[in-house]
Amino acid sequence: MYPDLEEFFDDAVEIYSQELRALHAAGGRYLQIDEVALPLLCDESPRAAVRARGDEPDALVGLYIGLINRVVRSRPEGMTIGVHMCRGNALGRWIGAGSYEAIAERAFNSLEVDAYFLEYDTERAGESVALAAMRLCQP
């Protein structure tokens, strides 16, 4: 157990960074991060659960973006990193739904990744309207 949550996050970032270096040393030049926490914060049900435990969903969005960026910044030269906004799709089961609106502006303008893989324009993923306003989607 970590007495200080920042120490936990520091260790988690270091473990991911070591993994990036190991993958690169083995010849890996592309990494896809399957990010679940951010897209789940698009769904009001998990957002309500976060509030019920005393946390603020929008603060967690910033925290998770910051952690991903710390990992991405540690990548070896020549490694491309993409992020898949995963809503927990396994064998036809999913755990989250909702438009990207709750996270779009901060996530798509702040994540320091090279590519995004998104679900959009489905009943479960919502319309792509939130994406159209982002720098990412403008020509």
What whole-number distance in Å separates Cα of residue 34 and Cα of residue 54? 26
Question: Which amino acid type is present at position 14?
Answer: E
| Each residue's pLDDT tens digit, 51-83 | 999 999 999 999 999 999 999 999 999 999 999
| Cα-only R_g, the chain | 16
* Residue partners of 16: CB distance under 8 A and separation at least 6: 71, 74
3-state secondary structure at position 137: helix
* Contact predicate 53/112, CB 8 Å: no
For residues 74 and 137, which has the higher predicted lDDT (pLDDT)?
Answer: 74
d(CA 49, CA 85): 20
Looking at residue 134, what is its pLDDT?
55
pLDDT in tens, 72-122: 999 999 999 999 988 766 666 667 778 888 898 899 889 999 998 887 655
